[in-house]
Amino acid sequence: MKKYHGAFIKNEREIGCLRQANRMVANILDAVGDMVKPGITTAMIEDLALKMCAGYGVKPAFQGYCGYPYATCCSVNEQVVHGFPSNRPLDEGDIVSVDMGVEYEGFVGDAARTYAVGNVSDMARRLMQVTEESLYVGIDKARAGNDVYEIGAAVQAYVEKAGFGVVRRFVGHGVGARMHEKPEVPNFRPSMPGLVLHNGMVIAIEPMVTEGTYEVDILADKWTAVTRDGKLAAHFEHSVAIRPEGPEILSISDRGLNRETWRA
C-alpha cells in the first residue's frame, strides 16, 4: 500500500473492503436504534452486536484491542466514550452513545451514533443534533488538498457557536487494515499545520461534544471517559474515504444514510 507521510493510500479493492466493513457496522447501528427504549440494557446492545457479527461472519474490532473487553462501547449520559455494556436498564430521558467496529477481510469498519431513550430533554436533543450536524460539517472538509486539521477547525467552530464544547482528549483517526492509523483527526483546531489529505486516504471523523466542560476523566475501570462536570456528552462517527468526487461516507447501512436516527 502506498504511504503519504505515514498515512496509507488505499486502492479500489481496499476501499471496497472498508465499504463492506462499514456497511455492516452501520447495519448494526440501525438495529441498535430499533431496539433502544426504556428498560433495555446496554448488555442487550452488546449481545445484538455480537450476534450480528456472527451472522456476517466477521470479527468485532474493539474486543481485545488494547485489552478492551467488549465488542461495543456503550456510553450513557455523562459518559463520553468507551463505556462498558452493563446490566443496568436504560431510563426514559437517557441518551446512549454506541460505538462499534468490525474487521472484514482484514479491514476495519468504525462508526458511532448517540440515541435518545424514549423522550429526552430539549437540551439532550439539541446536543445530539449539534453533534451529528458537526460531523457532517467536518466531513465536508474531508477533501484532497485540504489540511486534515481543517476538519477539526470546522467542527469546533460549529459546536462552539451552538454553545457546546468539543473534547480534546480523544480524536478521530486514519482507518484501514488497522483501526488507528495516521493521521490523527482532532475535533478542534491545533496550532500547527497538519497532513494534507490525498485521494485514497480513509479517516474516521468522530466529534465528541459536551453540554458543559470539554474536560474528561477516566473512571477506575481504566476505560470509561466521563465529563468532568457530569453533564451530557454525545458522539457521532463516520468512516470517510477521500475521493476525487469528494468525501465518500463508507458507514452507510442498507437503509441508506440515515440522519437524525436519535429523533426516534
Residues in contact with Co ion by CB under 5 A are: 110, 204
Residue keyed to cell 468525501: 247
Cell numbers for 40: 433495555
Binding window for ligand MF3 (CB under 6 A); candidates: 20-28, 63-71, 89-97, 254-262:
63-71
Q: Which pairing describes strands 208-210 and 165-166: parallel, antiparallel, or unpaired?
A: antiparallel
Of 120 and 156, which has the nearer Cβ to Co ion? 156
Candidate list 26, 48, 73, 117; residue touching ligand MF3; CB under 6 A: 73
Task: Pick the closer one to ligand MF3 by CB: 38 or 100.
Answer: 100
Q: How far is the CB of 93 from ligand MF3 (least distance, A)?
A: 25
Question: Using CB under 6 A, which of the segments 17-25, 65-73, 87-95, 160-168 binds ligand MF3?
Answer: 65-73
| Closest distance to ligand MF3 from the beta carbon of 204 (Å) | 6
| Whether the Cβ atoms of residue 237 and residue 172 lie closer than 8 Å to each other | yes
Stretch that binds ligand MF3, among 12-20, 66-74, 126-134, 209-217 (CB under 6 A): 66-74
What's the CA gap between 234 and 217, in Å, rounded? Answer: 15
Distances (CA, A) of 9 to 18, 158, 165, 197: 13, 29, 32, 10
Joined together, the cell numbers standing for residue 186 give 482532532
**240 is a site residue for ligand MF3 (CB under 6 A):** no
Query: Binding to ligand MF3 by residue 66, rule CB under 6 A?
Result: yes
Instruction: Assess 68 for contact with ligand MF3 (CB under 6 A).
Output: yes
Whether 159 and 206 have beta carbons less than 8 Å apart is answered as no
Question: Residue 14, SS3?
Answer: helix
Grid cell 488538498 in the structure block, residue: 145
Nearest to 257 by CA among 66, 9, 19, 84: 19
Between 13 and 221, name the residue whose CB sits nearer to ligand MF3: 221
Which among 1, 98, 82 has a CA at the least distance from the CA of 40? Answer: 98
Separation CA 180–CA 67 (nearest Å): 15
What would the grid cell of residue 24 be?
A: 455492516
Q: Does 116 bind ligand MF3 (CB under 6 A)?
A: no
Tell me which of Co ion, ligand MF3, none is bound by residue 62, counting a contact when its beta carbon lies within the kind-specific cut-off of 5 to 8 angstroms: ligand MF3
Least gap, CB of 69 to ligand MF3 (angstroms): 9
Positions that interact with ligand MF3 (CB under 6 A): 62, 65-66, 68, 73, 82, 99, 110, 112, 173, 204, 206, 237
